[in-house]
Amino acid sequence: MYRWGGGGFWEPEKRLSILELVNSGTIDLRLASFLWLLMKYRASVVVAAGPSYAGKTTTLNAILDFLDPNVNLVELHGGEEDFEFTKTSPPSKTYLVAEEFNYHMDYVWGDAAQKAFELISGGYGLGGTLHARTAKEAVLVLHNYFSLSVPLIASLDAIVILNVMRGWRRGVEIERRIESITLVSPAKDSIALQIVASREMGNDTFILADEHSLQTALAKKFDLGQTRVAQEMEIRQRFLARLLLEGRVSRDEVRRAITGFYRSHTS
């Protein structure tokens, strides 16, 4: 796996593993296994939150570690991006990463954002972050402020919403939580948003849609055939649970383990 470019997005201190996020309460193992299943198919994902420093980039990076190690990550460089990589990087083996869709600094916006979303229909995967408090708001931001068409936004696969708990008071530890995962699909002249996972009000329990609903939703996006979503998730959840039990939670340890998983599960 290689990465183009440098910049703060890839700084080591920001690269927590998915299991470190499990330990912090950001996500649980079952939801992590679902995200892994999405990334097996190079799902295009936006991680969104309202406030800054909510953990969007950290969460996106941890999710990207679920990609097949043979997939190349290409970091987009905002207004300076020339998309020359499209001449040599095959879509089926390439995943594009936007640190943030934002008009500030070197973030991805304007023509670069337009081109990045157009490449999804050409077979590239795309991951990025965005300031939005709900999936609906994320869609509105992309449409109203980035001038992306409805069909382009509908080419996304999922929107992950983060929330910051306990506020920003001095001396109070900040808790970051995934609040929901919404699948995105095209609808007639519109976009269909289907919440498939959400945090239960008042506690840390995630409610995930039943297997039939997940199978139906994912079959529309990926060539799942007769794949049983619950079974695929259970295999991955047990794998992650074993790593957690063994104390192998650092990013390097988790990435090596995921690489080994892909090598032994070729189907």
User: Is the Cβ–Cβ distance between 232 and 219 less than 8 Å?
Assistant: no
Question: Who has greater pLDDT, 237 or 10?
Answer: 237
pLDDT given at position 224: 76
Helix then strand then coil, in percent of the chain rounded to 5, is 40, 20, 35
Give 8-258's CATH code, choosing from 3.40.50.170, 3.30.420.40, 3.40.50.300, 3.30.1960.10: 3.40.50.300
Question: Who has greater pLDDT, 49 or 4?
Answer: 49
Of the ranges 28-32, 112-116, 209-213, 246-250, which one carries the lowest mean pLDDT score? Answer: 209-213
Q: Angle of helix 229-245 relative to helix 29-40, nearest 10 degrees?
A: 120
CA distance 78 to 76: 6
CA distance 127 to 41: 13
147-199: per-residue pLDDT in tens? Answer: 999 999 999 999 999 998 765 455 555 788 999 999 999 988 899 999 999 98
